[in-house]
Amino acid sequence: MRAWERATWATGVRESAVIERVGRALAGWLRERLRDQGRVVLLCGRGHNGDDVRAAVPHLGPLDVREITVVDPVADLARVVEALRDPPDVVVDGLFGIGLNRPLDAAWQAILEKVHASGCRVVAMDVPSGLDADSGAVLGGAIIADWTLTVGAPKRGLLAAEAVRHVGRLEVLADVGLVPWDPGMTPAEGWFGTAAEFMGWPPRRAVDAHKGDFGHVCIVAGSLGFHGAAVLAARAALRARPGLVSVITAPECYVPVAAQLDAAMVMPWSARMALPAKTTAVVVGPGLADPGLPAALREWIANGWRHWTMPVLADASALDGLPVGAVDSGALRVLTPHPGEAGRLLGVSAAGIQRDRVAAMKAVSERHGGAVVVLKGSRTVVGRAGELPWWNPTGNPGLAQGGSGDVLAGFLGGLLAQPALATNPMRAVRGAVFHHGAAADRLEASGEPWDAADLSRAIRWG
């Protein structure tokens, strides 16, 4: 960001003009979120972070606004406490920005603790005060924000696992008057997803298209006691609208799975069976309980992983039995582990995975010959060895429930089965992750309880 700002100032753009644009963007976000009703307390520091927040004041329209510039945390504590006594609808944190390079002392920590104790929703401007923008480390104490509106692009520290509970929902204020970003300014370290990436995607279907144009996904899923995973994956695959969906499930699950699916073909698995004719993508793993997964089925999956010539996605228990290294066919391979599963693959704890999620994603990819890896969790990271990572901006803690991963696996498989989408597999993978999270966000915004079945129905795309 510093390099980007220097490049902007060099063109003659004034710093004050960008601050004004940031203030307008913050005000617009607040007014839309609050629907032009409610009380807002602005906590401003003396630096440019505070300037950004102060610049919003003229544009906040009908909102009831109280601005407090904190110069001396000891002397100003009483004013902060008084402003929070009748809790406002939102507190905007503009105390410290990316320039903070020292731990906050007890007086500043007392200010942050009063904000947290108020129970108010908090919006952090650019970086939650007290958080190191480069590492994500807490410098003595840090604001716990519900949203962080960061300027231009995410700072590295905002994507660190240890920073998530302080950052909350991360959104980017991109249109603030900076010159277009250029790789010559500073090399990119990764990409943070945006809705704009998926405008016009997937492409419109031809009016004379038929189901043979959109592929056939085969889902190997379900075991005794876990047949619901096969149903969830199949329903999500159907939402992707491939030409055909087939489900291969355990013989003891055939009846309950088939009884719940009216648009997918269902068949019981046997050791001598082949994939259905004209299969264009395979999903293996949802609901394949381990221990208890038959050795013959595990061998069948491992052999298929090596030799199937179409994209294959492995999820859940299927991850543990995959061969290491590149596949003989050279076809696309995708793994979708959560941190615990990634830890099992790499021989480390889930906490070890969380300490450096990008490194873990790349290590899993290298272990499997450059496969694409979707490392699930807060801000799911997508990528493979030798390429820049991509972080997903959508989703919420409501996804932390059984079945949500089955929905993602099925939906992604349904996209990869379509020849027109498989030509750009990374976009398909990112699109699946983005729309899966966006569906969860719509459900959460409704205020109603929801489950994985609701999630599969809520997916919208195209």
pLDDT single digits (tens) 34-56: 999 999 999 999 999 999 999 99
* pLDDT for res 185: 85
pLDDT single digits (tens) 252-306: 999 999 999 999 999 999 988 999 999 999 999 999 987 667 889 999 999 999 9
Token pair of 376, please?
């699930």
Confidence of residue 181 (pLDDT cuts 50, 70, 90): confident
pLDDT single digits (tens) 105-138: 999 999 999 999 999 999 999 999 999 999 999 9
Residue type, 353: I
Cis peptide before 291 (omega within 30 of 0): yes
pLDDT single digits (tens) 132-156: 999 999 999 999 999 999 999 999 9
* DSSP letters for 102-158: S---HHHHHHHHHHHHHT-EEEEESS-TTB-TTT--BSS-----SEEEEESS--GGG
Q: Which pTM value belongs to this model?
A: 0.94
Give the start-to-end residue ranges of the domains of the chain.
2-189, 211-458
Q: What is the CATH number of domain 2-189?
A: 3.40.50.10260
Residue with tokens 């790349």: 362
* pLDDT for res 76: 96
pLDDT single digits (tens) 433-450: 999 999 999 999 999 999
CA distance 244 to 263: 8
Could you please state the CATH topology (level 3) that the domain comprising 211-458 is classified under: UDP-N-acetylmuramoyl-L-alanine:D-glutamate ligase (3.40.1190)
Whether 65 has a pLDDT exceeding 90, the answer reads yes
State the burial class of residue 145 (Cβ atoms within 10 Å of its Cβ: 0-12, 13-18, 19+).
buried
* pLDDT for res 292: 66
